[in-house]
Amino acid sequence: MASKRGKRRKSCGQKKRYETREEALAVWRSLQRRETHPMRVYPCRFCRGYHVGHMPHKNVRAMENKRMQHG
Ligand SMILES: [Zn+2]
């Protein structure tokens, strides 16, 4: 069977893991202040923990479109 270890490395293995969503959110808040790029907290299906990462570009563009529609 093919393993997905390569993917796990990217979205999990190299990232800091948080035990709870609250813990990840606390870090997310402090990052939001200095990062210009939108960040997100997401549950990880590999380690069952939480990670803080940059938002994929697709989502960022969707957000910008929404804002424009609102005027
Ligand atoms: Zn993980």
Would 45 be classed as within a structural domain? Answer: yes
Distance CA 38, CA 54 (A): 6
Average pLDDT for the chain: 81
Measured CA to CA, the distance from residue 30 to residue 46 in angstroms comes to: 25
Its domain, for residue 21, covers 16-70
Give residue for tokens 């940059």. 54
Is 9 inside a domain boundary? Answer: no
**CA–CA dist 48, 30 (Å, integer):** 23
Structure-token match 């939001």, residue found? 32
Q: Percent of the chain beyond pLDDT 70? A: 76
Cα of 44 from ligand 1 centre, angstroms: 5
Structure tokens at 48: 């069952």
Q: What is the pLDDT of residue 21?
A: 97
Q: When comparing pLDDT for 43 and 32, which is higher?
A: 43
Beta bridge partners of 50: 18, 43
Cα of 67 vs centre of ligand 1, distance in Å, is 31
In the chain, the number of structural domains is 1
User: From the CA of 45, how far away is ligand 1's center (Å)?
Assistant: 7
Give 50 Cα–ligand 1 centroid separation in angstroms: 6
Distance 37 CA to ligand 1 centre (A): 21
Residue 61 domain-assigned (yes or no): yes
